[in-house]
A and B are shown apart, each in its own frame.
Chain A
Amino acid sequence: MNRKQTVPLLVIAIGAAAAAMLPLIWAGISALRPSAEIFRYLSPLSIHTFVPTQVTFENVIALWNGPFARAMLNSAVVTAITVLLGLVICSMAAFALAALNYRGRGVVFAAMIVSFLIPFDSIAVPLAQVFRDLNLQNSYAGLILPGIGNGLAVFLLRQFFLGIPRELAEAAMVDGLGWFGIFTRIYLPLSKPALIGAGLILFVFQWQAYLWPLLIAPDPDYHVASVAIASFAGQYDVDYGQMFGGAVFTALLPMAVLLVFQRYFIASFATTGSKD
């Protein structure tokens, strides 16, 4: 590629990166300003749009002393349990769909993936009725359960398990290992990349959930972070400093996870999207 092409392409790449990051950076900086300053230096745009004249941690301190702290904790607990339980359930199902031979396996696989591919949000309103009948509203169980079965996670793990040769299982069986042992001692340890990929899918689903927590956990004690920050915006006198602080903190954890595990994330994309 010659120089003449590189420059405009680089400009596009940098422009897109700036468009992606500037709203977040602006929100983060606004959280560190006195609330009165947030809209003051916008027009005309100047250096002070992005550089505060005065840095204050008042908003952040008030935020963590308010109901947001509880919501963050709820999000963390709900997401952590979802990922653990979800990995157990999805990897067990994937094992049954990849390593074991029985009649009707293909049908079970198709039925399971297609049902899970029905996007969760589309049936969230009727499911909320079911959960209220089961008395699961305003509870951790109510928040966690919908996240534990994930079709994409099952699909990803199954694709990976299919690549593990059956001879390994047969050899282990000669050594006296049962199917459960084969699952926990051979398949799981060999599948770390797929487990991380599936864990990321479960994590992102649960951390960004909004409609479901709104429906099933209206009690502020069970608010998760995504709902708590939206309730800032719903107030008559919006505290923009705290709202931006909450928004940035809610975005930071998944962004950090994505940064660390980027490789696995992209690999899982390739599995679901482009492979034959």
Chain B
Amino acid sequence: MMTALSTTRTTEAASKAVPAPTPRRTLSEGMVAAIFLAPAVIAVLVLRIWPTGLALWQSIHVGSAGTFGLANYTFLFSDPSFHDALSATLLFALIVNPFQIACALGLALVLHRALPAGALWRTLILLPVAVPQSVSAIIMGVVFRPDGPANALLATIGLPAQGFLTTPDQALYTIILIVSWIGVGYWMTFLLAGLKEIPFALYEAAVIDGATAWQQFRYITLPQLRRPLTFVLVADTVANFLVFAPVQILTKGGPQGSTNLIMNDIYTRGFLSGDVRGAAAETGILVGIVVIVVAIQFRMMTGGKSE
């Protein structure tokens, strides 16, 4: 403690000896920083740390006597409805993430070329990004009604009508299409920004060497795009773990639990069924998964300078 205090004093004294200081500068920079940081730190504590701590605290509370244990977690893992939610979420993540990123990358590559009216197409594809998830759920829910425009389109090109959200084996895939309406344009924007950073000289050199379009993509575009691609992969994965509005508005997790993604399960458990501790344990599991992914994301946003 003494040492810490005296160090602060010495730094202050040292900074007073530097030519720049003025009489107005009475607080050390650390103190000023503390004042500037205070509102944000309070926000972090109240809005992130407190609820996370509360969820973890509740999740280890067992029984009415207030004893502690992991019974809420073991109960959760023995609950078939949680198994279904977990497997639906994983299946969803396994399909939606590669699908969205492939579409986003493909479109970014197309729009990166000098097309006639290119800026117009880019803007039109980007615009749904601004559409709130609940709005997209409402509109796309009607589009995919059995008597809606999607089946009308299928009928026009001679294909049989589909059940979409009403059948257990199609509902999850329909939710994937619905969230991708917004998602693809959003993630495409990151990749388009990444493509702009690739030096054109690399392609010129490749053309001189006689590289084919595929070789250019494989040996120039992909490696140069590695950073934004990894970022998009991580951020997209986190976002898709948390899909809620389309499920809650359109299917409530059904039919037969086929679209019961983890956020909807937490909401149903904690808010509709009143199983606060079960929801807390499930929140703990979700936050655990997400924190790992987010830590990777943070490293990519800030680190990598050494590479």
Instruction: Give residues in A with beta carbon < 8 Å to B.
Output: 1, 5-6, 9-10, 12-14, 16-17, 19-21, 23-24, 26-27, 39, 42-45, 49, 88-90, 92-93, 95-97, 100-103, 105, 108, 110-130, 145-146, 148-149, 154-155, 170, 173-174, 176-179, 183, 204, 207-208, 210-211, 214-215, 225-227, 229-230, 232-234, 240, 243-244, 247, 250-251, 254-255, 257-259, 262, 265-266, 269-270, 272-274, 276
* Interface-central residue, B25, B39, B147, by most chain A CB under 10 Å: B39
- The residue on B at minimum CB distance from A155 is B301
Q: In the assembly, what is the distance between CA of A243 and CA of B47, in Å? A: 33
With a cutoff of 8 Å between Cβ atoms, the chain B residues found around residue A227 in the complex are 134
User: Does B40 interact with chain A (Cβ within 8 Å)?
Assistant: yes
Q: Digit string of B91-126 for contact with A (CB within 8 Å is 1, else 0)?
A: 000000000000000110011011110101101111
Task: Say yes or no: is B22 at the interface (Cβ < 8 Å to chain A).
Answer: yes
Q: Which residues of A contact B113 (CB under 8 A)?
A: 1, 5-6, 9
Contacts of B147 in A (CB 8 A): 39, 42-43
Q: How far is the CA of A127 from the CA of B50 in the complex (A)?
A: 8
B85–chain A nearest beta-carbon distance, Å: 14
A105 touching B39, Cβ below 8 Å:
no
Task: Indicate if the CB atoms of B130 and A254 lie closer than 8 Å.
Answer: yes
A121 B242 Cβ-Cβ under 8 A: yes
State A117–B130 Cα separation when bound (angstroms).
21
- Which chain B residues (9-65) contact chain A, with CB distance < 8 Å? 20-22, 24-25, 27-30, 32-34, 36-37, 39-41, 43-44, 46-52, 54-55, 58
Contact residues in A for B49 (Cβ distance below 8 Å): 115
Nearest A residue to B139 via CB reads A27
Are B22 and A176 neighbours in the complex by a CB distance under 8 Å? yes
> Is B276 an interface residue when CB atoms closer than 8 A count as contact?
yes
On chain A, the residues within 8 Å of B46 by CB distance are: 130, 145
Stretch at the interface among B70-78, B163-171, B215-223, B283-291: B283-291
Chain A residue nearest to B26 in the complex (CB): A178
For A124, the chain B residues whose CB sits under 8 A away are 51
Contact of A276 among B106, B118, B149, B305 (CB under 8 A): B305
Q: Which residues of B contact A42 (CB under 8 A)?
A: 147-149, 152
Q: Is the CB of B131 within 8 A of A118?
A: no
How many angstroms from the CA of A14 to the CA of B181 in the assembled complex? Answer: 15
Closest residue to A90 on the B side, CB-wise? B40
Cβ of B89 within 8 Å of any chain A Cβ, yes or no, is: no
- Determine the residue in chain A with the shortest Cβ distance to B57: A126
**Cβ contact within 8 Å between B43 and A174:** no
Chain A nearest CB, measured from B103 CB (Å): 8
Option from B54, B134, B194 in Cβ contact (under 8 Å) with A130: B54
CB<8 Å pairs between A and B, sample of 10:
A1-B114, A93-B41, A102-B33, A108-B37, A113-B298, A113-B302, A115-B49, A146-B47, A258-B130, A276-B307
B173 within 8 A of A: no
By a CB distance below 8 angstroms, the chain A residues around B37 are 92-93, 96-97, 108, 112
Give, as a whole number of angstroms, the nearest-CB distance from B283 to chain A.
6
Contact A230 B39 (CB under 8 A): no
CB B94 to nearest CB in A, in angstroms, measures 19
Q: Once bound together, how far apart are the Cα atoms of A254 and B238, in whole Å? A: 23
The answer on a CB contact under 8 Å between B238 and A119 is yes
When the two chains form their complex, are residues B152 and A49 in contact, meaning their CB atoms are under 8 A apart? yes
User: Which residues of chain A are near B297, meaning CB under 8 Å?
Assistant: 117
On whether the beta carbons of A45 and B283 are closer than 8 Å, the reply is no
List the 4 closest pairs (A to B, CB-CB), nearest first.
A149-B43, A93-B40, A208-B132, A254-B130
